[in-house]
Amino acid sequence: MSQNFDRHRRLRSSAFMRDIVRENVLHTDDLIYPIFVKEGQESKTEVSSMPGVFQFSLHELEAEVTELTELGIKAIILFGLPDDKDAVGSGAYHQHGIVQEATRLVKKIVPEMIVVADTCLCEFTDHGHCGVVKNETVDNDESLQLLKKTAISQAEAGADIIAPSNMMDGFVKIIREGLDEAGYIDIPIMSYAVKYASAFYGPFRDAANSAPQFGDRKTYQMDPANRLEALREAKSDEREGADFLIVKPSLSYMDIIRDVRNQTNLPVVAYNVSGEYAMVKAASANGWIDEERIVLEMLTSMKRAGVSLIITYFAKDVATYLKEMRR
């Protein structure tokens, strides 16, 4: 006797049935792995708030990149840790800056690896802000000139994608013009279009020694309470010539990812940030959660929310899980 209700369980009745109706699947090709590279010869050090994440010297990069290639990871994003910082972040746009040198090296070891260069000044300024400081505030238009120089020097070093994370107004426009004038018309911009002033970046600032020395980033990064503002940011960057739009952080911002997805035809990228990583690692170290299942569920949820790509410190772990599952 048939009942008068829907039988949703029909499509969940076996593992194969669930496999054939699954709507979103995570692939290793979806992942971008962040790497911290430091100047000097010191051997790699683990970031205390990010177990499994290291600051590498250049001479240790080859082994790491080789491992990534073996895992099938096709893209990395580089963050630089210079020995010396100054008020104008000159290490960010020096021809032999740490990101430029690391880019050259990676492209030599694995030419097909997609190297994304994070374009920001905060790791290179002595005050830790993402631009030039004037009268205790970050000067937008002067910062743009330095960010343009940074992007061009990263492209010169061989970066495949420029990813400006500084949240100055007009950064996509100025960087696009700079790249085009310098002949890099084919280098895409992956804009940190929607970047909130988030407490979830805490561990990253340990990893990159980039905490602001005074004040905070709230005059340039977004207020976590705002949703429409995210769409205005995304729209400006698309209009100015962005090729990808990043939403950051990701877990508390799935609504924003979906909003941006619905309003653009560009690929949307989630940044699964340091604090999101640290929370999972801490709970897992205590034996409170099943790390593998939690990580796969989180990243699959980002795909469901609408992203094409995920920047994540879990990339190696996920590539390993996916490899084992296929066996």
* Cis before 249 (ω within 30): yes
Question: Which CB, 106 or 273, lies closer to ligand PBG?
Answer: 273
Q: Which residues in 238-277 contact ligand PBG (CB under 6 A)?
A: 273-274
Q: How far apart are CA 39 and CA 102, in angstroms?
A: 10
Residue 130 in marked binding region: yes
Question: Which CB, 143 or 274, lies closer to ligand PBG?
Answer: 274
245 phi and psi angles, rounded to 5 deg: -120, 125
Q: How far apart are CA 97 and CA 75, in angstroms?
A: 21
Q: Which residue in the set 122, 162, 174, 295 belongs to the binding site for ligand PBG (CB under 6 A)? A: 122
Residue 122 in marked binding region: yes
In whole angstroms, how close is the CB of 160 to ligand PBG at the nearest point? Answer: 18
Residue 86's beta-bridge partner residues? 125
Q: Which residue in the set 196, 201, 220, 244 belongs to the binding site for ligand PBG (CB under 6 A)? A: 201
Q: Which residue in the set 26, 92, 130, 295 belongs to the binding site for ligand PBG (CB under 6 A)? A: 130
| Other beta carbons within 10 Å of 70 | 10
In whole angstroms, how close is the CB of 186 to ligand PBG at the nearest point? Answer: 24
In whole angstroms, how close is the CB of 259 to ligand PBG at the nearest point? Answer: 21
Residue 49 in marked binding region: no
Spacing of C-alpha 30 from chain mean position: 12
Q: Which residue in the set 30, 39, 101, 118 belongs to the binding site for ligand PBG (CB under 6 A)? A: 118
Single out the segment in contact with ligand PBG by CB under 6 A; choices: 5-13, 101-109, 177-185, 197-205: 197-205
Q: What would the 3-class secondary structure string for 270-316 be?
A: EEECHHHHHHHHHHHHCCCCCHHHHHHHHHHHHHHHCCCEEEECCHH
Pairing of strands 132-134, 31-38: unpaired
Question: Which CB, 33 or 201, lies closer to ligand PBG?
Answer: 201
312 belongs to the binding site for ligand PBG (CB under 6 A): no
Classify each residue of 6-22 as buried b or exposed e, where b means 16 or more C-beta atoms within 10 Å of its C-beta.
Answer: eeeeeeeeeeeeeeeee
Residues identified as active-site: 195, 248
171 belongs to the binding site for ligand PBG (CB under 6 A): no
| Binding-site residue set for Zn(2+) | 120, 122, 130
Q: Which residues are near ligand PBG by CB under 6 A?
A: 118, 120, 122, 130, 165, 201, 204-205, 210, 273-274
